[in-house]
Amino acid sequence: MVSKLSTALAFDLGASSGRAIIGKLDSEAGQMTIEEIHRFPNDPVKVGDRLHWDILRLLHEIKQGILSAKHLGYADQIESLAIDSWAVDFGLLAPGGELLGNPYHYRDHQTDGVMDRVIASIGQAKLYAKTGLQFLQFNTIYQLCAIKERNPQLLNQADVLLMIPDLLRYFLTGEKHSEFTNATTTQLINATTHIWDAELLEQLGLPVNLLLPPVPSGTRVGALTASICAELDVPALPVIAVGEHDTASAVVAVPALQEDFAFLSCGTWSLLGSETLQPILSEQALAWNFTNEGGVYGTNRLLKNIMGLWLIQECKRAWDKDGEVLSFAELVKLAELAPPFKSFIDPDDDQFLSPDHMPKQIQQYCRDTQQAVPQTKGELIRCVLESLALKYRLVLERTEQLTGKTYTGLHIVGGGIQNELLCQFTSNAIGREVWAGPVEGSALGNLVVQWIALGYIPNLSEARRLIRNSFPVKTYSPSEERDWGEAYEAFQQVVSRSIVK
């Protein structure tokens, strides 16, 4: 590595919260540090029946992050900034460049039933062979088809589609670019050619001209506009398109020293899989509904979206509404005290995607599958955590079957590692070590790709080594306390009684 110091700014927008993080690199020492300078909630807004992201609030918070960096004295040190966010959602711009409406939230019900109609018209095997994407009802492809059915004039008025980080970056720089990793989550990028699948778009009657050719992660894509610089009184900071899908950035930050590893990016979603050199488009991958998302620097992410800590977030939201506000840590404590293995859910059952009241939905699931119905908060959270850990085992074993590799343990990154009970349950369920850390996976991945683009770090494996040297990783080993093998069998039986995913 070249001997140099560098400072960069990362904006990482998760589905539940966003943060601005300053990263400082000492490439001679092979060390980096981070400082969180701004954090904000990312609350969706319901308008009538529709659920939207508050995109202008997110832009406002990004500006607050830049201001905060300035107030802390970083404005003249920052060499670049970059944004990553959740996937699949987008904004549409009019020919003059103005945003047409508020971007829809992927949990909006406009896509209910649309995926089945698209599959019926194109064919599931053909769609998978082309795109390699997991069938999820909220993928961009189904959102666009839903808009075409419901509100075609919106599409007719649109000139350009920008995914959420592309859109926010456009607001900052005035430049329109589509970043590759996030583009792949649309289910409209061809997994082999890596460009928009024009045939698929035509067959669906979707306008090909809305989509910009994807640029690779690590491309420099402009600088803050004169108007933003004047508004915030900051220099024209350069902006880089990193792995703008937060999962792409999270996987960059997996501190694995060996080439083959299994990862779990654990936040609102749980994304479990492995990095591969090529997409895996086999019949089995389709049958198990695995996804192949584009990664940075030619990598492929073979993984499965698992419903994740959304289940806990939504239990908490329901209880908060009733005025019984408990922190995540307090809820985990209650789960720890609850009896084990009473009932299981398939976290990925459709009924958990967007229910009105998560605790009641979990109870209903247990009732419908003839299991004991969890009553207390502790019992409900325990049921979710055990079920997630068991689902991780199922998906890890399937990942191994698809890649033909064996993984000695599982790397976990993201906010979910603060849930130590879940990390321990996961180690118990998979019967292997869990290596937990770093917690700010996506922001770190974002920062190191900026430094690769700026020439400070030579490549992805050096970036991972740097992260490994700079942040703690906690090891969990399987405990012998309970029989997780028996629990896994019971879990699989329950899952097979509901809609198997």
Ligand X SMILES: Nc1ncnc2c1ncn2[C@@H]1O[C@H](COP(=O)(O)OP(=O)(O)OP(=O)(O)O)[C@@H](O)[C@H]1O
| Cα(457)–Cα(464) distance, integer angstroms | 10
Using CA atoms, how far residue 364 sits from 110, 309, 490, in Å, is 24, 19, 18
| Among the listed residues 108, 244, 246, 349, the single contact to ligand X using CB under 6 A | 246
| Cα(85)–Cα(88) distance, integer angstroms | 10
Stretch touching ligand X by CB under 6 A, among 100-108, 211-219, 416-424, 470-478: 416-424
Stretch touching ligand L2XQQQDX by CB under 6 A, among 261-269, 400-408, 446-454, 462-470: 261-269
246 binds ligand L2XQQQDX (CB under 6 A): yes
325 binds ligand X (CB under 6 A): no
415 binds ligand X (CB under 6 A): yes
Q: From the list ligand X, ligand L2XQQQDX, none, which binds 313 (C-beta under 5 to 8 Å, kind-based)?
A: ligand X
Q: How far is the CB of 82 from ligand L2XQQQDX (least distance, A)?
A: 16
| Cα(453)–Cα(218) distance, integer angstroms | 5
Ranges within 73-102 binding ligand X (CB under 6 A): 86
**Beta carbons of 268 and 87 less than 8 angstroms apart:** no
| Among the listed residues 170, 269, 407, 491, the single contact to ligand X using CB under 6 A | 269
Q: Which is nearer to ligand L2XQQQDX, 268 or 387 (CB)?
A: 268
* Residue 286 DSSP SS3: helix
Q: From the list ligand L2XQQQDX, ligand X, none, which binds 106 (C-beta under 5 to 8 Å, kind-based)?
A: ligand L2XQQQDX
* Residue 24 DSSP SS3: strand
Q: Which is nearer to ligand L2XQQQDX, 25 or 253 (CB)?
A: 253
424 binds ligand X (CB under 6 A): no
Q: How far is the CB of 418 from ligand X (least distance, A)?
A: 4
210 binds ligand X (CB under 6 A): no
402-415: b (≥16 Cβ within 10 Å) or e: bbeeebebbbbbbb
Helix, strand, coil percentages, rounded to 5, for the chain = 45, 20, 35
| Cα(59)–Cα(210) distance, integer angstroms | 23
Task: Tell me the number of residues near ligand L2XQQQDX by CB under 6 A.
Answer: 14
Stretch touching ligand L2XQQQDX by CB under 6 A, among 124-132, 263-271, 461-469, 482-490: 263-271
41-50: b (≥16 Cβ within 10 Å) or e: ebeeeeeeee
| Among the listed residues 238, 295, 416, 437, the single contact to ligand X using CB under 6 A | 416
Q: How far is the CB of 87 from ligand L2XQQQDX (least distance, A)?
A: 4
| Cα(449)–Cα(217) distance, integer angstroms | 8
**Beta carbons of 8 and 23 less than 8 angstroms apart:** yes
Q: Which is nearer to ligand X, 297 or 328 (CB)?
A: 328
- Cβ atoms < 10 Å from Cβ of 448: 28
| Among the listed residues 269, 392, 407, 471, the single contact to ligand L2XQQQDX using CB under 6 A | 269
Q: From the list ligand L2XQQQDX, ligand X, none, which binds 309 (C-beta under 5 to 8 Å, kind-based)?
A: ligand X
β-strand pairing of 90-93 with 31-41: unpaired
Catalytic residues: 246
Q: How far is the CB of 289 from ligand L2XQQQDX (least distance, A)?
A: 13
Stretch touching ligand X by CB under 6 A, among 58-66, 235-243, 305-313, 395-403: 305-313
Minimal CB distance to ligand L2XQQQDX: which residue?
86
**Beta carbons of 279 and 426 less than 8 angstroms apart:** no
Q: Please state whether the peptide bond connecting residue 165 to the residue before it is cis, i.e. omega within 30 degrees of 0.
A: no
Q: Where are the beta strands (DSSP E) in 68-144?
A: 78-85, 90-93
395 binds ligand L2XQQQDX (CB under 6 A): no
Stretch touching ligand X by CB under 6 A, among 10-18, 32-40, 124-132, 354-362: 10-18
Interface mask (CB under 6 A) for ligand L2XQQQDX, residues 77-116, using x and -?
Answer: ---------xxx-----------------x----------
Using CA atoms, how far residue 150 sits from 110, 143, 201, in Å, is 8, 10, 18
Q: What is the dihedral of CA 201, 207, 209, 211, to 10 degrees?
A: -60
| Among the listed residues 332, 394, 395, 495, the single contact to ligand X using CB under 6 A | 332
DSSP code, position 441: H
Q: Which is nearer to ligand L2XQQQDX, 442 or 470 (CB)?
A: 442
- Cβ atoms < 10 Å from Cβ of 375: 12
Ranges within 5-24 binding ligand L2XQQQDX (CB under 6 A): 14-15
Using CA atoms, how far residue 294 sits from 189, 237, 299, 401, 467, in Å, is 9, 27, 7, 21, 22
| Cα(470)–Cα(438) distance, integer angstroms | 9
* Residue 475 DSSP SS3: strand
Structure tokens at 117: 């109609």
- Residues in contact with ligand L2XQQQDX by the rule CB under 6 A: 14-15, 86-88, 106, 245-247, 267-269, 271, 305
- Residues in contact with ligand X by the rule CB under 6 A: 14-17, 86, 246, 267-269, 309, 312-313, 328-329, 332, 414-416, 418-419
